[in-house]
C-alpha cells in the first residue's frame, strides 16, 4: 500500500470511529475503510434520482444534502448522516431525489458491501438495531399523543384463536408469519421462533403489561384488541391482530414504559428476544426485515413532524400578518 493510500485509509477509519454513537469494533472500521470511496459534489449536483436502484449509501463528511419527495417536501441532512440507507433497508427504488445543498464530501459504499460488513459484525449491528428502535420511538414522542403508535395496517379480527384450547406450533407460526415482522421475513427462522414462543391469554380489562415490566419477549397479537396507555405525557394506542405489542419500541426497550390492557379476549404469542436475536444472526434477512420496519417508522415520524412544523409556521404567518399590516398602515 502506497503512503498516500495508507493515509486515506487511516482517515477513513478515523471517520468511521466518530460516525457511530457507540464504539465500533476495529474489524468493522477496517472493513469499511477498505471499500468506501471519496466522492465530491458541487452545490446542486444530484446524488441519486427518485426511482433509481438503492445500490449505494453515503456517509456525509462535509456539506449538506436535501432529499425531496414527490410532493416537494425536503428532508435536510448534514455531516455524520447516512443517506440512502432507508431505501436500501426496504429494498425498493429511491423514494426521493437527493441533491447537494452545498459543496459536499461523502464516503460512498455499495449497499451489498454495507450489509455484508454489518452481518460480519452482528453484535454491533444488533446494538445499532436496538438503539435505533428506541431512538425513533423517542422521536415519535414529539407527535400528537394518539399518533405516537400508528398501526401499519388495517387490522382485521384475525383468526378465532380463542376457540382453540391451545395453539400448536403451526398455529403459533401462523401468528408470527402474519405479523409486521414476519410477513416478509424468511420462513425458516420463524419456524424455530414459533417453537420457542409461548402463548398468553387475557380477559377483557386484564392488565398485560405495567410500567417497569421486563420486556424479555416480543409480543405478537394473534387475536383481540389491546389498549396501550401512558399517563404523562398522555399517550393512547390500540393494537390488534398482526401487530407487535408496543411496535418495535418493544424491541428496543428493556422495560415497559406503558400500561397494556386487554379490551377484548386477547391471544398473544411471546417470542424470546434472545432467540430472535440468535436467529437474526443466523438469518440476516430477518435482521434486514427489522431494519426495514424501522425505516418505515422513521419515515412516518419524520414526515408527520415536518407536516406539523409547516402547519405551525403557516399558523404563525396568519396570526402575525394582520398585525404587520396594521402596524405599517397598509
What CATH number has the domain bearing residue 77? 2.60.120.10
Between 156 and 136, the higher pLDDT residue = 136
Question: Does a structural domain hold residue 305?
Answer: no
Question: Does a structural domain hold residue 88?
Answer: yes
> Are residues 112 and 175 both part of a single domain?
no
Residue 329 confidence (pLDDT) above 50: no
> Are residues 116 and 146 both part of a single domain?
no
Radius of gyration (C-alpha) of the chain in whole angstroms = 23
| pLDDT tens-place string over residues 151-165 | 655 455 567 887 788
Question: Does a structural domain hold residue 79?
Answer: yes
Whether the CB-CB separation of 290 and 298 falls below 8 Å is answered with no
> Are residues 183 and 219 both part of a single domain?
yes
> Are residues 108 and 147 both part of a single domain?
no
Q: Which of 91, 120, 149 is the last residue of a domain?
A: 120
Residue 326: its pLDDT value, please?
A: 41
CA pseudo-torsion sign 275, 277, 283, 287: positive
How many domains does one find in the chain? Answer: 2
> Are residues 199 and 165 both part of a single domain?
yes
Question: Does a structural domain hold residue 21?
Answer: yes
> Are residues 65 and 97 both part of a single domain?
yes
Residue 321 confidence (pLDDT) above 70: no
Question: Does a structural domain hold residue 80?
Answer: yes
Q: What value does the mean pLDDT take over residues 197-214?
A: 97
> Are residues 177 and 105 both part of a single domain?
no
pLDDT band for position 23 (50/70/90)?
A: confident
pTM for the model: 0.87
Question: Does a structural domain hold residue 279?
Answer: yes
> Are residues 56 and 12 both part of a single domain?
yes
Containing H/E element for 217?
Answer: strand 217-223
Residue 285: its pLDDT value, please?
A: 94
Residue 57, Cβ neighbours under 10 Å: how many? 23
Question: Does a structural domain hold residue 253?
Answer: yes
Residue 98: its pLDDT value, please?
A: 98
Q: How far apart are the first and last CA of the chain?
A: 71
Residue 153: its pLDDT value, please?
A: 52
What share of the chain has pLDDT > 70, as a percent?
94
Residues with Cβ within 8 Å of 165's Cβ and at least 6 positions away in sequence, in order, are none
What share of the chain has pLDDT > 90, as a percent?
75
Question: Does a structural domain hold residue 250?
Answer: yes
Residue 5 confidence (pLDDT) above 70: yes
> Are residues 71 and 180 both part of a single domain?
no
Q: Which domain holds residue 167?
A: 140-293
| pLDDT tens-place string over residues 291-318 | 999 999 999 998 899 888 888 888 888 7
> Are residues 252 and 149 both part of a single domain?
yes
Tell me how far apart the alpha carbons of residues 100 and 205 are, in angstroms, rounded to a whole number: 54
pLDDT band for position 322 (50/70/90)?
A: low
> Are residues 187 and 110 both part of a single domain?
no
CA distances from 170 to 122, 197, 242, 269 (A): 29, 11, 16, 12
Tell me how far apart the alpha carbons of residues 146 and 238 are, in angstroms, rounded to a whole number: 9
Between 310 and 208, the higher pLDDT residue = 208
> Which region among 24-38, 114-128, 267-281, 301-315 has the lowest average model confidence (pLDDT)?
301-315
Sole residue written with cell 399523543: 145
> Are residues 268 and 150 both part of a single domain?
yes
| pLDDT tens-place string over residues 82-118 | 999 999 999 999 999 999 999 999 999 999 999 999 9
3-state DSSP assignment of residue 236: strand
Q: What value does the mean pLDDT take over residues 225-241?
A: 93
Residue 126 confidence (pLDDT) above 70: yes
Amino acid at each position: 500500500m502506497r503512503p498516500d493510500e495508507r493515509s486515506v485509509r487511516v482517515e477513513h477509519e478515523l471517520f468511521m470511529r466518530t460516525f457511530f454513537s457507540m464504539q465500533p469494533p476495529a474489524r468493522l472500521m477496517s472493513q469499511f475503510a477498505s471499500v468506501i470511496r471519496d466522492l465530491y459534489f458541487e452545490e446542486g449536483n444530484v446524488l441519486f434520482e427518485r426511482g433509481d436502484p438503492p445500490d449505494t449509501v453515503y456517509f456525509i463528511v462535509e456539506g449538506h444534502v436535501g432529499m425531496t419527495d414527490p410532493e416537494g417536501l425536503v428532508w435536510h441532512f448534514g455531516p455524520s448522516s447516512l443517506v440512502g440507507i432507508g431505501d436500501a433497508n426496504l429494498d425498493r427504488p429511491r423514494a426521493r431525489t437527493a441533491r447537494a445543498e452545498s459543496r459536499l464530501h461523502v464516503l460512498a459504499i455499495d449497499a451489498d458491501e454495507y450489509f455484508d460488513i454489518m452481518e460480519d459484525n452482528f453484535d454491533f449491528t444488533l446494538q445499532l438495531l436496538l438503539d435505533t428502535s428506541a431512538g425513533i420511538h423517542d422521536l415519535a414522542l414529539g407527535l400528537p399523543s394518539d399518533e405516537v403508535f400508528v398501526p401499519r395496517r388495517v387490522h382485521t379480527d384475525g383468526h378465532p384463536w380463542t376457540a382453540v384450547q391451545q395453539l400448536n406450533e403451526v398455529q403459533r407460526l401462523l401468528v408470527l408469519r402474519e405479523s409486521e415482522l414476519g410477513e416478509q421475513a424468511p420462513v425458516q427462522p420463524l419456524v424455530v421462533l414459533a417453537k420457542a414462543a409461548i402463548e398468553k391469554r387475557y380477559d377483557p380489562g386484564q392488565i398485560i403489561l405495567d410500567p417497569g415490566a421486563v420486556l424479555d419477549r416480543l409480543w405478537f397479537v394473534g387475536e383481540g384488541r389491546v389498549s396501550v396507555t401512558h399517563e404523562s405525557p398522555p399517550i393512547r394506542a390500540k393494537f390488534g391482530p398482526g401487530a407487535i405489542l408496543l411496535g418495535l419500541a418493544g424491541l428496543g426497550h428493556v422495560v415497559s414504559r406503558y400500561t397494556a390492557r386487554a379490551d377484548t379476549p386477547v391471544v398473544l404469542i411471546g417470542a424470546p428476544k434472545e432467540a430472535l436475536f440468535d436467529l437474526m444472526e443466523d438469518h440476516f434477512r430477518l435482521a434486514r426485515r427489522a431494519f426495514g420496519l424501522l425505516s418505515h417508522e422513521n419515515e412516518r415520524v419524520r414526515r408527520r413532524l415536518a407536516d406539523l412544523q409547516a402547519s405551525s409556521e403557516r399558523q404563525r404567518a396568519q396570526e402575525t400578518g394582520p398585525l404587520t399590516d396594521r402596524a405599517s398602515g397598509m
